[in-house]
Each structure stands twice: as C-alpha cells, then as structure tokens.
Amino acid sequence: MDMGPLQGVKVIEMAGLAPAPFGCMILADLGAQVLRIDRGGAPTPGLTPPAGPLDRGKHSIALNVKDPADRETLYALIEQADVFVEGYRPGVAERLGIGPRDLAARNPRLIYGRMTGWGQDGPLAPRAGHDINYIAISGALDLVGRERPVPPANMIGDFAGGGMLLALGVISALYERAQSGKGEVVDAAMVDGSALFTAFMHGMHNVGLWNAPRGQNPLDGGAAFYDTYECADGKHVAVGCVETQFYAELLTVLGIDDPELPFQHDPGGWPRLKAVLGAKFKERPRDEWARLFADSDACVSPVLSPWEAHEHPHNRARGAFIEIDGVRQPAPAPRFSRAATTVPAGLSKDPEQIRTLLSDWGVDADAIARVTG
C-alpha cells in the first residue's frame, strides 16, 4: 500500500519552533520518515517546542549534540539519512560540529535544509527576529490591514513563507540529486519566502492597479465587491465577486435592484456600494446568508473561525480536518491519485518503533542501542 509520494525518504529534524517543524510535518505528511532530535542534556527555557499537530507522523529521540558521544551517534544516523533540517541562527550548526561541511563529509548525498528568518547572509543574518519582522521588510506586512499594518498571525512568515518554502526546497533538491547524485544545501529564509507571496501585487502595481493607500485597493478590502461584511449576529461573510456576472448574482440574491448604484469597478463609488451592501447583510445572521448563497456563484462565504471550519459541509465532505490524539487539525494536503497519503499518527517516542525505523534505515546495531538504550 502506498504511503505518500515521499515514501522511503529519511529525514532528520533538529527540534525547533514553528517553521522548520512545519516544513518537516509536510514531509512526514507526504510519506517521509522523520526522526526529530530533541535537545538532550540540561533543559533550556524557551527552546522546547510545544506538543501538537506539527509533531504528527514523526518519531523522536533526545541527543545532546554538545556531547561527543551523542554527536557521534548523530553522525551515524546522518550516514543513512536523505535530509537534515536545522533552524539555528547562521554559524550555530557549524559551532556544534553539524554544519553542512561536517555532515557532507559523512554523507555527500545529504540534502541539508537551513530554515532561518533572514537567511544565511546579509547584514541582518546574525540578528534575532520573528515572523512580523521578516514580513515587514519583505513588503508583505504592509499589504494587510486598513489604517495601519496588522500582523496576519504568524502564517505568512513562519508557515507560508517559511516551512512551506523549506519543504519545497527539500523536495526540489531531492529531485536534482536523483539527476546529479550530489547533496545540496537549501537556504530557506522567511524574508525571501514572504516576499514571493507579493509577486502578484508587484505586477498589479506596475500596471497601476495597486497604487492606493492600504485598504483602498481592489483586493485588500478597498473594493465593495471584495471585502467582509458584518451580519445581524455580529459574525461576518466574505464577498469576492470580482467578475461582473458574479457581482450581478450577488445583487440578485440580496434583492438589490437599484439602477442608480455606482458602477462595480469605479473606486469613487465603492464607499456608497459598501454602505448599501453593509446595510443589507446586517438584516440576517451569518449562517442564514450562508444558506442563501450556498448554491450560487455570487462568491459569498461565511467567515469561519479555525475552531468551527471543520463543521462546514464542504470541509466535512472532503475530510479536510482530522483528529490525532484528541487534537483536531488540518488534514495532509495536497492529495494524490496513486501515492495516497494516510492519516498520520501522533509523535512516537516508543523505543521499539524507533529501533524498527532505524533498522530499516540501515543504521548499525551499536548506534541503535545508543539511541534507544
């Protein structure tokens, strides 16, 4: 039975926070065998990743890479791995003796994934930062909000422009290795990845379609036909009827027939259109509007919280959310016709499972004994 398109790929992940674990979760979702190396030795406050969905499909062991014996054990694992992922600041892995050159000496075919905010070079490379800082200088943060930029949680930097970029880089490097037989170092930087997500806006700006202040452009809430509206119960619906025929259907379902309304794509008329649409949506609760628009092409959807999204009929029909160890979470994606993915298991620290995993990797018995006790 197929277990995903990355079945047989062996990944070692150095434990960290958010982007690198998310990238390795994607690899595990796609069938890779992921062994997470937790920090051994004395605990360090703030460096222990929280348990949850990012752990799924993985196994874990604890090693103190500052200890020569544990580092030798890691080297033994590296010799059998396809991918190694770390999320340290530039230079830290080298000081620990697990930098790209150290590991390439043990395994020249190794794909070495480096997940950082600023990248491996540049004046900010050694500095601290978080998602909000990376998306600030990439231009992505300035696109979100009305009067002032509003952080879109940590989705654009940590996950979309970070972990997803890392997974894409690792998979690309694995494909190239199949041609060249050589390893690769992947420099996945959140500042680069979040900048990629502004490519379309750069194109629109170049042709004069994204030149207004924040919140006044066609796709950032400026247009009446592309915004959210409050309903009678204080909840919201999302309206995205860009095309004229879909906009016409919106007006039909809402029961608006006013020949004096401004033209849909006239920015000067957007405030009046918003007032008309806003007043209409205030007449009914969100879920009633959702039912009225369910079978239309008006491009109107209820704005759901992450905690209720699993209840939507479309998400239920597709099995878009799953439950692992009592935690509801998004299901693996994308989907494949042949190399189908399965529902991942939760994180495993079971010594017997880890012995089986490492034996399948070809790790020698002495190294397995050191890892599992």
Task: Using the 3D structure, point to which of 303, 338, 361 is the last residue of a domain.
Answer: 303
- In this model, does residue 47 exceed pLDDT 60? no
More confident residue, 40 or 162: 162
- Domain presence at residue 206: no
Q: Supply the CATH number for residue 270's domain.
A: 3.30.1540.10
Residues 113-130 pLDDT 10s = 999 999 999 999 999 999
Tokens representing residue 265 in the block: 């794509």
- Confidence band of 57 (pLDDT split at 50, 70, 90): very high
Q: Supply the CATH number for residue 167's domain.
A: 3.40.50.10540
Q: Are residues 68 and 107 in the same domain?
A: yes
- Domain presence at residue 310: no
Residues 312-336 pLDDT 10s = 999 999 999 999 999 999 999 999 9
- Domain presence at residue 313: no
**Alpha carbons 254 and 259: distance in angstroms, whole number:** 15
**Alpha carbons 290 and 308: distance in angstroms, whole number:** 14
Q: Are residues 261 and 338 in the same domain?
A: no
pLDDT of residue 2: 47
Q: Are residues 16 and 149 in the same domain?
A: yes
- Domain presence at residue 31: yes
Contacts of 183 (CB under 8 A, 6+ apart): 104, 107, 108, 109, 110, 111, 112, 177
Residues 182-235 pLDDT 10s = 999 999 999 999 999 999 999 999 999 999 999 999 999 999 999 999 999 999
Handedness of CA 11, 14, 15, 20 (dihedral sign): negative
Residues 83-101 pLDDT 10s = 999 999 999 999 999 999 9
- In this model, does residue 1 exceed pLDDT 50? no
Q: pTM for the full model?
A: 0.93
- Residues annotated catalytic, as ranges: 130, 158
Sheet containing 58-63: give its strands across: 58-63, 33-39, 10-14, 83-86, 111-116, 184-189
- Domain presence at residue 314: no
Q: Are residues 260 and 367 in the same domain?
A: no
Q: Are residues 332 and 293 in the same domain?
A: no
Instruction: Report the candidate in 159, 8, 152, 18 with the shortest Cα–Cα distance to residue 87.
Output: 18
| Domains contained in the chain, number | 2
- Domain presence at residue 231: yes
- Residue 266's domain comprises 216-303
- In this model, does residue 181 exceed pLDDT 90? yes
